[in-house]
Amino acid sequence: MTEQIQLGDISILVTRKAIKNVHLSVHPPDGRVTLAAPLSTRLEVARAYAISKLSWIRVQQQQLRNQARETPRQFIERESHYLWGRRHLLTIIERDAKPGVSLDHRRISLSVRPGSDQAKRAEIMHTWHKSLLHQVVPGMIQHWEPRLGVSVDAYFLQRMKTKWGGCNPEAGHIRLNTELVKKPKDLLEYVIVHEMTHLLEPTHSDRFIALLTKHYPTWREARAELNELPLGAEEWNE
């Protein structure tokens, strides 16, 4: 069951879970606030806790508002595009041949048919991004399966507007945001480990935090770095 607390202009979604401690979170990109509390917590107690953290909440929200944001990509000559955390310049090649993308050092060459519009160029680039992720993701999953003692039956890549990844513990599936191709590979690995840990513990409980800390001790630093990187023109968060 979820309830809502209103503190002035701040709305806080309260969820009760089988956890021992209260978890207060401010989520990018817009500073949405959630509070997860133990099952027996009364709403007045949750409100009092939130009030005690009000200044912290406002600081976190201000940091998100100040965070760098990419302008929408137009897929034009010499435009900046990020790949694995590094900036590349785009070259457009128009020719009457099958479209495609190639990478040469710090330059991305996008080959398109004459007259192709921005939407078509974006689609070609997204397909290429997925191919790059498919080259990397299986190896990371295989590396972590024996360490976590889990098996990933399938993974899926997709555009996701509200988070970096997802997990279906019953099916043994994980999902990854294709925007991760723009971030450093160690941050992709963090998201993969995070989602694979959900195969052991579906919720963000104390047990989940303990498992993630045991297997990936630097997860807090990774999460902070991921959320401090420039946000996309479309809004993404974890």
Fold exhibited by the domain 118-228: Zincin-like (3.30.2010)
Those residues whose C-beta lies under 8 Å from the C-beta of residue 119, and which sit 6 or more positions away, are none
- Coil, helix or strand for 112? strand
- On whether the CB atoms of residues 16 and 37 are closer than 8 A, the answer is yes
Note down pLDDT in tens along the chain; length 238 residues: 689 999 999 999 999 988 888 999 988 777 889 999 999 999 999 999 999 999 999 988 887 777 656 667 888 888 989 999 898 999 999 999 999 999 988 899 999 999 899 999 999 999 999 999 999 999 999 999 999 999 999 999 998 876 899 999 999 999 999 999 999 999 999 999 999 999 999 988 899 999 999 999 999 889 888 876 655 544 333 3
pLDDT value at residue 238:
38
Those residues whose C-beta lies under 8 Å from the C-beta of residue 129, and which sit 6 or more positions away, are 178, 181, 182
Domain residue spans of the chain: 2-66, 118-228
